[in-house]
Amino acid sequence: GQNIDQPTEMTATEGAIVQINCTYQTSGFNGLFWYQQHAGEAPTFLSYNVLDGLEEKGRFSSFLSRSKGYSYLLLKELQMKDSASYLCALARGGYNKLIFGAGTRLAVHP
């Protein structure tokens, strides 16, 4: 089985940096993915980690520590359009299905 925990809600200010944490327990692991989901829309891929360390993609970075069962998504230079839910997901199994956490709803204020 697996268990994925992330904060339910966060708020941040436009232009600031925010870190969204995700902790997990799993019996199998093929990678840790981060998706963004605006209300009523599909999840869209942001970043993923298979090995420990930091992956940087423009304003978004993701970090993974497999020994600690911990990941975070870092968003820099926040914009109003970054207000959305951020979903932490584990890839498991031979067909790499994604198992999603409940998501963190981020509200960016001016």
Partner 1 sequence: EPEVTQTPSHQVTQMGQEVILRCVPISNHLYFYWYRQILGQKVEFLVSFYNNEISEKSEIFDDQFSVERPDGSNFTLKIRSTKLEDSAMYFCASRQNSGANVLTFGAGSRLTVL
Q: Any bridge partners for residue 54, and if so which?
A: 63
How far apart CA 69 and CA 9 sit, in angstroms, is: 21
109 interacts with partner 1 by CB under 8 A: no
- With CB under 8 A as the contact rule, the residue among 23, 26, 30, 83 that binds partner 1 is 30
**How would you list the strands of the sheet with 18-26, edge to edge?**
2-5, 18-26, 70-75, 60-65, 53-57
Is there binding between residue 107 and partner 1 (CB under 8 A)? no
Max CA pair span of the chain: 44
Binding mask 65-94 for partner 1 (x = CB under 8 A): ----------------------x---x-xx
Residue in 1, 8, 58, 95 binding partner 1, rule: CB under 8 A: 95
Give the 3-state secondary structure of residue 110: coil
Binding residues for partner 1, rule: CB under 8 A, are 30-31, 33, 37, 40-45, 48, 87, 91, 93-103
